[in-house]
Structure 1
Amino acid sequence: MYKNKIELSIIIPHYNDSVLLEKLLDSIPSEKDIEVIVVDDNSDKEELKKYKEFKDKDRFSNINFLMNKTNKKGAGVCRNIGLNNASGKWILFADSDDYFIEGFYDVVSKYFCSNIEVVLFPPTSIYIDTNKEANRHINFVEILNSYSNNNNLRDELYLRYKISNPISKLIKKRFIDDHNLKFDEVIASNDVMFSTKLGHYMNDFKIDNKTIYCITRNKGSLTVNNSEKIFDSRLNVYINYCNFLKEKLNENELSFFNLKGQGYLFTSIKHGYGFKKTWNVFCEFKKNSIKPFDYRVMNPMYLIKKLLKHYRLEKTLKKYR
Structure 2
Amino acid sequence: MNKILSIIIPTYNSNDNLSTLVNKLLQIDNIEVIVVDDCGCQNVFDIFFENSRLKLIRLPSNSGAGIARNRGLKAATGRFTCFFDADDDVFVDELSKIVKLLDDYSFDVVFFPPISHDQTGKLSKRHMSYQRLVDDYLNKGSEEILYKYHVPWSKIYRTQFLFENQLEFEPVSASNDVMFSLKSSMAAKSINVIDKTFYSVLSHSGSLTRLDTIQRLRDRIFVAYRYNRLLKSLGKYHFRTCVTPLFFRLLKLDINVLMFTLREYKLTSNYLDFFPTFGMLYRKIIKK
Q: Hey, what does 2:285 align to over in structure 1?
A: none
Q: Is the 8 A contact 1:11 1:92 kept in 2?
A: yes
> SS of the residue aligned with 2:157?
strand
Q: Is the 8 A contact 1:261 1:285 kept in 2?
A: no
Q: Does 1:105 align with 2:91?
A: no
CA deviation after TM superposition for structure 1 residue 61, in Å: 5.9
Q: Hey, what does 1:280 align to over in structure 2?
A: 260
Q: Does 1:67 align with 2:58?
A: yes
Q: Structure 1: which amino acid aligns with 2:56?
A: F
What whole-Å deviation, never above 9, does each CA across 1:62-87 have from its counterpart, x for those lacking one? 21111112x55100011000011111
Q: Hey, what does 1:227 align to over in structure 2?
A: 213
Partner Cα distance (1:8, 1:259) in 2: 32
Q: Is the 8 A contact 1:265 1:281 kept in 2?
A: no
CA deviation after TM superposition for structure 1 residue 39, in Å: 0.4
Q: Is the 8 A contact 1:91 1:170 kept in 2?
A: yes
CA deviation after TM superposition for structure 1 residue 260, in Å: 4.5
Q: Hey, what does 2:45 align to over in structure 1?
A: 52
CA deviation after TM superposition for structure 1 residue 272, in Å: 2.9
Q: Does 1:29 align with 2:26?
A: yes
Q: Is the 8 A contact 1:117 1:204 kept in 2?
A: yes
> SS of the residue aligned with 1:95?
coil
Q: Does 1:181 align with 2:171?
A: no
Q: Is the 8 A contact 2:80 2:156 kept in 1?
A: yes
Q: Hey, what does 1:313 align to over in structure 2?
A: none
RMSD of equivalent CA atoms: 2.4
Q: Is the 8 A contact 1:285 1:291 kept in 2?
A: no
Partner Cα distance (2:277, 2:204) in 1: 34
Q: Is the 8 A contact 2:152 2:177 kept in 1?
A: yes
Q: Hey, what does 2:283 align to over in structure 1?
A: none
CA gap of 1:116–1:257, structure 2 versus 1, over 3 A, is closer
> SS of the residue aligned with 1:194?
helix
Partner Cα distance (1:114, 1:265) in 2: 43
Q: Hey, what does 1:238 align to over in structure 2?
A: 224
CA gap of 1:286–1:216, structure 2 versus 1, over 3 A, is closer
Q: Hey, what does 1:12 align to over in structure 2?
A: 9
Partner Cα distance (2:75, 2:137) in 1: 34
CA deviation after TM superposition for structure 1 residue 281, in Å: 3.7
Question: TM-score normalized by structure 1?
Answer: 0.79
Partner Cα distance (1:221, 1:89) in 2: 39
Partner Cα distance (2:273, 2:246) in 1: 9
Q: Hey, what does 1:195 align to over in structure 2?
A: 181
Count, aligned residues: 277
Partner Cα distance (2:171, 2:262) in 1: 25
Partner Cα distance (2:9, 2:89) in 1: 11
Q: Hey, what does 1:161 align to over in structure 2?
A: 147
What whole-Å deviation, never above 9, does each CA across 1:23-72 have from its counterpart, x for those lacking one? 1112213455211100001111xx22xx2233348xx7621111112x55
Q: Does 1:265 align with 2:247?
A: yes
Q: Hey, what does 1:87 align to over in structure 2?
A: 77
CA gap of 1:260–1:125, structure 2 versus 1, over 3 A, is closer
Partner Cα distance (2:214, 2:278) in 1: 26
Q: Structure 1: which amino acid aligns with 2:150?
A: S
Q: Is the 8 A contact 1:108 1:170 kept in 2?
A: no
CA gap of 1:53–1:242, structure 2 versus 1, over 3 A, is same
Q: Does 1:141 align with 2:134?
A: no
Q: Is the 8 A contact 1:282 1:292 kept in 2?
A: no
Q: Is the 8 A contact 2:9 2:69 kept in 1?
A: yes
- Equivalent in 125, 131, 154 of residue 116 of structure 2: 125
Q: Is the 8 A contact 2:7 2:34 kept in 1?
A: yes
Q: Structure 1: which amino acid aligns with 2:118?
A: Y
